Structure formats: C-alpha cells, structure tokens
C-alpha cells in the first residue's frame, strides 16, 4: 500500500511538472507533408536548440518550445524553418535529389569565372546544388568567419570570398542547395599553432603527410571544438548542409596520439566529434554529412582510420563515400581496371551496404577527373553519366561530383525538361569505345 501511494504521488508530481512546462513553454503541433504529393512525411525531425521530436506515420507531431524558430528535417527534403508566429500547422517539405558540383577554395569568389560557369549549368540542367570549400586542408577559410581563434592564426588571410552574405543571397535567390565542405582533422594551420595537440611522430616531433600538411589529434576535444566552431559559422550564414571531410585518422602507422589508438577508441573519437557537431548545429536546422573512404563500403573494420558506416550514421544525416573508380585497386570487384567500369563500382559498393543504412541517407562522391591509377582514361560524358546512373539505380539521395579544378561540361548533364536518361543516349554523346 505504501508503494502504491508513493507511485500515486510521483504521478501527480510528474503531471504537475509537465503542465507547468506546457504553460511556461509554448506548445506547437502540426503535420509534415510532401510538398509535391501532399502525402505525410513520417519520421521527420522537428527540433529547436534543445528538444527533438519525430513525426509519426501520419506526419503529425507536437513540440513544446520557448524558442522563436523550429526546424524540420527529413531525408530527401530541403531543410525547413518554421517561425512560431506562423499560423499554418501544415508544413510542406520540398523533396530534393541533390545533384551537386564542387567549387574549390580558390574559385569561391563571387566574381569567379568558374562560379559563373557552374551557375549557368545550374540554370540550364538538372544540377541543383553546390559544394563550397569553407575550410581547406591547409586550414584556411574561404571567408572571414566569426571564429576569432582561427582568425588570430590568419585562417582568413587568403580568403577568396570577401562577401559571404552576398554569395548566400545569390544562392538562395536561385534556390540552390548549398553544402559547406569543412576539412576536419587535416589542418596545417591549427596544428602548427597548437603543437601540443597535433599528431606527432614516434620521436615526438610534428608529423606531416606527403603533401607537407600537419594534422590535429582526433582524440583531442580542442580539435573538435575548433572545427565545430567554424562549422557553426557556416550554418549561421545560411548553408543548408555541413559536409565534414578528412573526418578520420591518418592512414599511417607509427604515429603518436594522446590516447592509445585502437579500433574502439578511434571510432569513439569520431563519434564524439559528430555528437558535438550535432548538438551545436541543431539550432540552425542544417543537415550533416560525412565523407568516407570508398573502401568503407567493403570492410567490416575501421581500416585504421575510425570510419565505419553504422557509428557514423548515428550522428550524421548523410554518408558520402568517395567512390572514385580510380581509387580502387586492380582486381577490385573482379575487374582488372575498375576505372573502366564506373557503373559497376558505384552500384556494387552502394548495394553492399544497403543492410547497414537506408539508401536515401547515401550520397556518393563521383569522379570527374582523369583516371590517374589505371589506364589514364579521361572521364567524359559516358563515364560521368554511368556513375550518375548507378546512384539513381540504388535510390540514393543524390550525388556530388568532384573535379579538383571545378571545371564541368554543361553538355554532360540532363537539361531541366528531360526526365529520362537512357544508356543509348549516353553512348551517342560520348567518345567511349567499348
């Protein structure tokens, strides 16, 4: 009887607490639907800076929040921001299959001829997204962020964009989905200014990789805070998505870290970074994506770099394996030269992980550069579109095309009004010889 009375008192206290919470905070309920089909969107995330709820199978949700804005995210849709003053309780999300071109650090100027070329491609073709370097491998930022620590190191000295607000305004006016690429642990500038948490050689001296770039220790929380602060600024200026690259340990043996480097500790370190990023970026309503080695699709261990599909997917919205056919060794997939079989490489790799992650959470990086490893073939219309076809055949959320020079051919992409891309049309417009 005493336990029963105690439980009754506890229930009353909890009820009183939640009633007080509802009065203190605002309450908002609604339904999330697909803007195109008007069908409900289940499992959408609705959140403010602290609270997250999910829409049910009917798209309905309820959230208590004292904040002015609420953010709505669902895989395969553009992010949605809701003002608490909005009267509508029906939230229509715009579906998007991301088809992105990469714009490099040195071409991120508002007046860059390469940017103008990309904007023309977006205007006339299926391309609807752009990946922009915000933080480079060296540690430079393409615009001056509000993160003073990086500015003290001179991260903004070589910036290529002097007016990021103008840039973002232009992107929004054209309804372009914007992705901020942020290099994570490879950071010469941060490491050289903070040698106490830079990766060392076994003799205790600073280690640099083959291109003379130092890295910061992924175990060290100071390295986490640094990069997340830059990511937070990119979210603040209006990017739709934050893409973390080099979010891994170096693929190098014999290095010295602040902790013992085991598979468990490495995977945990990467997860801790992403957990921090998720918590800090949630108040901006942005998506988070992570770039991975292409081989992650084929291995059941972390390859010594801390990357595994399932742990990454716990905190990241999208996984972006770098499935460049030239990056796979001879004999991979039973193919003598994988670069000659672009569809097979992409298709088989993505199918191989479909039991680990939903296909709509995959968005591979595709190759738009000359094969450097095998037959030295150029990647032209056929090779690029075979990769695109493979991404579509596996029902991914889209793809991102990597050209180091950010040079792309308008004629390689479907015109906006075309709905179907056949293999015959690919062959007719390519120089490929079977």
Question: Tens of pLDDT along 149-188?
Answer: 999 999 999 999 999 999 999 999 999 999 999 999 999 9
Start-end ranges of CATH 3.20.20.80 in the chain?
Answer: 98-428
pLDDT score for 62: 94
pLDDT score for 432: 33
Please tell me the pTM assigned to this model. 0.90
- At which residue do the structure tokens 């200026």 appear? 237
Hey, which CATH number is domain 98-428, 1.10.8.60, 3.40.50.720, 3.40.140.80, 3.20.20.80? 3.20.20.80
pLDDT score for 6: 56
Q: Which of 118, 126, 29 is nearest to 70 (CA)?
A: 29
pLDDT score for 26: 67
Residues of the chain with pLDDT under 50: 4, 11, 13-25, 418-434
Distance CA 70, CA 253 (A): 45
pLDDT score for 88: 73
pLDDT score for 417: 63
Distance CA 38, CA 364 (A): 28
The CATH superfamily assigned to 2-93 is Carboxypeptidase-like, regulatory domain (2.60.40.1120)
pLDDT score for 430: 44
pLDDT score for 409: 97
Q: Which of 37, 68, 74 is nearest to 54 (CA)?
A: 74
pLDDT score for 214: 98
- H helix runs in 76-187, sequence order: 113-124, 148-152, 164-173
291-345 pLDDT tens trace: 999 999 999 999 999 999 999 999 999 999 999 999 999 999 889 999 999 999 9
pLDDT score for 9: 52
pLDDT score for 83: 84
pLDDT score for 3: 53
Start-end ranges of CATH 2.60.40.1120 in the chain?
Answer: 2-93
pLDDT score for 123: 97
Distance CA 275, CA 281 (A): 10
């Amino acid at each position: 009887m005493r336990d029963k009375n105690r439980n009754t008192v506890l229930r009353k206290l909890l009820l009183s607490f939640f009633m007080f919470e509802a009065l203190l905070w605002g309450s908002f309920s609604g339904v999330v639907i697909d803007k195109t089909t008007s069908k409900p969107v289940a499992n959408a995330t609705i959140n403010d800076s602290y609270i997250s709820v999910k829409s049910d199978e009917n798209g309905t949700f309820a959230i208590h929040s004292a904040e002015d804005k609420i953010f709505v995210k669902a895989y395969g849709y553009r992010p949605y921001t809701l003002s608490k003053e909005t009267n509508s309780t029906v939230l229509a999300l715009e579906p998007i299959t991301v088809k992105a071109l990469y714009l490099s650090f040195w071409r991120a100027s508002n007046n860059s001829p390469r940017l103008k070329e990309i904007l023309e491609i977006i205007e006339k073709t299926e391309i609807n997204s752009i990946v922009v370097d915000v933080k480079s491998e060296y540690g430079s930022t393409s615009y001056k962020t509000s993160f003073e620590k990086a500015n003290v190191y001179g991260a903004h000295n070589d910036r290529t964009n002097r007016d990021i607000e103008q840039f973002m305004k232009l992107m929004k006016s054209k309804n372009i989905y914007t992705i901020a690429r942020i290099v994570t642990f490879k950071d010469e500038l941060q490491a050289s200014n903070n040698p106490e948490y830079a990766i060392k050689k076994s003799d205790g001296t600073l280690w640099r990789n083959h291109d003379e770039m130092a890295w910061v220790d992924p175990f060290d929380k100071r390295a986490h805070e640094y990069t997340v602060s830059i990511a937070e600024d990119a979210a603040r200026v209006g990017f739709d998505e934050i893409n973390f690259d080099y979010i891994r340990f170096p693929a190098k043996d014999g290095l010295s870290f602040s902790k013992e480097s085991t598979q468990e500790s490495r995977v945990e370190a990467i997860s801790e970074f992403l957990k921090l990023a998720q918590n800090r970026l949630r108040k901006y309503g942005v998506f988070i994506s992570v770039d991975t080695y292409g081989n992650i699709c084929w291995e059941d261990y972390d390859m010594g770099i801390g990357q595994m599909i399932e742990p990454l997917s716990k905190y990241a919205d999208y996984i972006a394996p770098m499935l460049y056919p030239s990056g796979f060794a001879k004999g991979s997939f039973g193919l003598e030269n994988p670069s000659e079989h672009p569809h097979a490489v992409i298709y088989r790799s993505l199918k191989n992980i479909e039991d680990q992650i939903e296909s709509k959470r995959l968005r591979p990086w595709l190759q738009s550069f000359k094969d450097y490893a095998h037959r030295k073939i150029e990647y032209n219309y056929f090779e690029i579109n075979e990769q695109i076809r493979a991404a579509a055949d596996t029902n991914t959320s889209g793809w991102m095309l990597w050209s180091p020079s950010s040079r792309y051919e308008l004629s390689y992409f479907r015109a906006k009004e075309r709905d179907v891309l056949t293999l015959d049309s690919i062959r007719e417009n390519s120089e490929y010889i079977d």
